[in-house]
Amino acid sequence: MRGGKGGGLLVAGTTSDAGKSVVTAGICRWLIRKGLKVAPFKGQNMSLNSFVTREGAEIGRAQAMQAQAARVEPTALMNPVLLKPGGDRSSQVVLMGKPVGELSAKGYHGGRQKELFEPVMACLEELRSTYDAVICEGAGSPAEINLRRTDIVNMGVARAAKLPVVVVGDIDRGGVFAQFFGTTALLSPEDQSLVAGYLVNKFRGDVSLLEPGLDMLYGLTGRRTFGVLPYAHGLGIDEEDGLRVSLRGTVRESVVAPPVGADVLRVAVCAVPLMSNFTDVDALAAEPGVVVRFVDRPEELVDADLVVVPGTRGTVKALAWLRERGLAGALARRAAEGRPVLGICGGFQALGERIEDEVESKAGVVDGLGLLPVRVRFGVEKTLARPVGEALGERVEGYEIHHGVADVRGGEPFLDGCRVGAVWGTHWHGSLESDGFRRAFLREVAAAAGRRFVPAPDTSFGALREEQLDRLGDLIEEHADTDALLRLIEEGAPAGLPFVPPGAP
């Protein structure tokens, strides 16, 4: 390794959602199979999908997933800056796992981001002094020429740490050759000298038909393509850039496994604004016979056996949205009829009687939906915790990320929240990943819904996640030039890479 430090690589992308997160995870899993000690890293992440480490730090879930791929415990070092979008074009800035304030995009890129470069690089250097290799993930595109001056996640990191860069492109979207060429050509000569080559992602068809284009790309840029990864279903785990119509985080293929009992169980998730940690329902989607869909109309709740009101970065905004859409009334009717509803974190807060918020929305006192005897007051300090408890006779683990403090005034205890009839509420994210608890909860839901649904006795969410991470490692091992990638990680970008004009303006 170079200079006594661990090796490294930066996985950049031609666009957001090109596949950087899963490629980074796949490289981590491939390397640990080779016996290397590996860590993931992303200097700055923008996501509402976050996780709490064991030391109580909030980081992006993508980096937590990559740490699992590397079989190491996630820490704040792996994602020192997390931006959590809110209302009014602002984001909460989380530094080393703790919130440090709210900033507009202009304020962040206008100066604050540059101040964070030193702690970001300190985290990377600490990881490189501890691990054999650190696989870094970029954000968006490295060719965002308007943001290059204050970049702390793409070429700014690569230049400072002298990391080789591989650029990932999503060929399924089309135009991947133009994306590779244009991305390279918009970088300065100094930045271009670190771009070692490309990785094609999500290819469908005969690779031999693609090879002439790859040869021409080499002729134009002097850079090789390190692999062509085939399109693979069900690999969108712990994503960070939003939500498509289909469930992105599911650990199952798009084809739902047949139910064990006579009936399927239909789960409707209210797609509230600023939805956070939508991966909470992944464990439900992993169950054979459970069908999960995201909804935004009251009529879509009619045939649902369970409705989930998920977490959100804007509880008051989500409440207004539920009322405007007619979903609030539909939820009240469900509760009156004894039909199951589960509120998680912000969703739990919305199901309560009253919210006092001078922190997140600054809206003051707002009426909740009144389905649970809970009053919530937002505090300046954020609760970040990894609780362990028991519910429905089963052990449960979870994690908490919230400003709201709940005053539970009745009902049956349910984790940190309560239950009234068939309405449950808790701040705990991730609780449904506890297999025994999930089965017990689904049995309760099925009974209340009158469904002959039986949870599979052997579904292990953790095992399914491991299988998926192994699939990512397999993609790299089977479809990338791993010898060349390993040389990059150990030795850096090759010398003499040609300049592709015009370069950065």
Helical ranges in 186-260 per DSSP H: 189-192, 207-221
* 466/381 Cα distance (integer angstroms): 35
Q: What angle do CA 476, 237, 474 make, to 5 degrees?
A: 20
Which residue is catalytic, options 28, 136, 270, 345?
345
The DSSP 8-state label assigned to residue 143 in this structure reads T
4 SS3 class: helix
Q: Considering only CA atoms, which of 117, 39, 48, 50 is closest in space to residue 78?
A: 39
Angle, in degrees to the nearest 10, between helices 435-449 and 461-479: 120
- The number of CA neighbours under 13 Å toward the Cβ of 483 is 0
123 tagged catalytic: no
Which residue is catalytic, options 402, 427, 429, 479?
429
Query: At a CB cut-off of 8 Å and minimum separation 6, what does 293 contact?
Result: 247, 266, 267, 268, 269, 300
Residue 25 in contact with residue 238, Cβ under 8 Å? Answer: no
Residue 348 in contact with residue 397, Cβ under 8 Å? Answer: no
Residue 227 tokens read as 């692999």
Q: Considering only CA atoms, which of 78, 38, 31 is closest in space to residue 54?
A: 78
Helical ranges in 38-154 per DSSP H: 61-69, 105-107, 113-115, 117-130
Helical ranges in 450-501 per DSSP H: 461-479, 482-491
In terms of DSSP bridges, do strands 58-60 and 38-41 run parallel, antiparallel, or are they unpaired? unpaired
479 tagged catalytic: no
Query: At a CB cut-off of 8 Å and minimum separation 6, what does 33 contact?
Result: 473, 477
Residue 457 tokens read as 């006795």
Hey, what amino acid is at 423?
V
* 282/246 Cα distance (integer angstroms): 12
Q: Per-residue b/e over 456-467, b at no fewer than 16 CB within 10 Å? A: beebebeebbbe
* 70/440 Cα distance (integer angstroms): 31
Catalytic residues: 345, 429
